[in-house]
Structure 1
């Protein structure tokens, strides 16, 4: 219990400090544009240090579920270009998401399962069997909040390694879109235009396809077995 309280205290202090020192101003589109020139100078002079600092900050932002992951992703494209930016963002976002997942699991999983185990039995069984497919779908559909998926999946039986690699693969397409948009930062006036309706539909269909395909294959196999 003391360890859990200590973790909660550290997270609370970090979140309070984030807002108390008004750090969120840097995680806005205007803040990113205002600081781009200075960041680019730092990157030119200290490429390894700036890349490492960016990676660590991204992990912390996502692990603590702080607002600003989208801006951090755009910053990856604006600072590092498409290829290197995509590589940094992909691994940083997946690692940060996994840390948030593990914290939620450590702090809340047992309590939730003890209190609502019977009600969650069907969900637990479904996640055990097809958790990777469900997670892949959730990662590809932008309508589901990134941070909320991390926390809620931590309350399920899905394995941490499965959560990590499925998140890595599932978020790659969306990450590429935002990193690429970041390379054209000067032309962006808002975040709303990055994902068009057709692109949203494409991601949704891509996410649902593996789950539907598995169901169809299972149905075909069951009918063949019964024939």
Structure 2
């Protein structure tokens, strides 16, 4: 029987060395780039960016749309954070329109790539979920997709890819996703839109972010999934009783 090799124990000195190196890196970084990283300096950059948007609105909105479509279409992480940022930068109504259509477009591209390009690999990776999705679609129809979009029980990228392997038509998938994702999108965009601009933060400090609207947004982010789940349980079509054996 071979004795296990004992793992080297970390000494307090090694921990102090790591902590010291981290502190030194922070000090050096702040010394070199402190002026550039100050909130006032960043606020100036934000003002320049907003001025560029005012001069080139179509280009800026178009680039934002393409970026969001790419993130959702390629199933990359960060869609929720991007929604918050767009809400903060563009404002509630413009960001809601942009994100709503961009997210559905990206989801539809992922749906099509799964159906026509990546079918074999997606089927081998999510074959167990495919059976569940097909059974639920046969039982509830498009209402099942609507439920998945409203209640975030399954990651959206999984829904996009697995739904591409089902018989569901692209048109149905598009409009159900558009409607089903809209309430959740509105909550996230509102949360981002309640954050003040950086100029306000640089002038008012932390107090500038402690707004009633922001507290409401955080409450909505926490409560929304619970409310939707409760409502969907009430309106979901009842399952047919099991057939008796003849």
Q: Please tell me whether the aligned partners of residues 98 and 164 of structure 1 are also in contact (alpha carbons under 8 angstroms).
A: yes
Q: What do you get for the CA RMSD once the two structures are aligned?
A: 3.4
Deviation readout 1:167-186 (Å, 9 max, x if unpaired): 00000000000111111234
Match of 2:181 in 1: 171
Pick aligned residue for 2:55 from 40, 45, 58: 45
- Alignment match of 2:134 (pick from 118, 124, 132): 124
Q: Give the Cα–Cα distance (whole angstroms) in 2 for the partners of residues 69 and 103 of structure 1.
A: 19
Matches of 2:75 and 2:154, distance apart in 1: 14
1:48 deviation in Å? 1.2
- Matched residue, 1:59: 69
Deviations 1:110-150 (A, max 9, x none): 67779x99x96685354245231111111111232121211
CA distance in 2, matches of 1:127, 1:40: 45
The equivalent of 2:110 in structure 1 is: 100
Is 1:133 the counterpart of 2:143? The answer is yes
Which of 76, 87, 98 lines up with 1:77 in the alignment?
Answer: 87
2:98 to 65, 70, 88: 88
Structure 1: gaps of 5 or more residues: 1-32, 220-227
Larger radius of gyration: 2
Offset, 1:76: 2.3
TM-score of the aligned structures, taking structure 1 as reference length: 0.67
Deviation at 1:44, TM superposition (A): 1.8
**SS in structure 2 at match of 1:215:** coil
Inter-partner Cα distance in structure 2 for 1:113 and 1:142: 22
44, 56, 68: which is aligned to 2:78? 68
Shift of 1:41: 2.9
Residue in structure 1 matched with residue 225 of structure 2 by the alignment: 200
Q: Tell me how far apart the structure 2 counterparts of residues 139 and 60 of structure 1 sit (CA, whole Å).
A: 19
Aligned length: 183
Asked if the contact 1:128–1:158 (Cα under 8 Å) also holds between the matched residues in 2, the reply is: no
Normalising by structure 2, report the TM-score: 0.62
Q: Is the 8 A contact 2:108 2:170 kept in 1?
A: yes
In 2, Cα distance between equivalents of 1:74 and 1:120: 31
Question: Greater helix percent: which structure?
Answer: 1
Asked whether the 8 Å contact 2:133–2:163 carries over to 1, the reply is no
CA deviation after TM superposition for structure 1 residue 194, in Å: 6.2
1:36–1:101 Cα change, 3 Å: farther
- Distance across 2 between alignment mates of 1:167 and 1:84: 19
After the TM superposition, which of the residue ranges 178-187 and 48-57 deviates more from structure 2?
Answer: 178-187
Question: 1:149, 1:123 → 2: CA distance?
Answer: 9
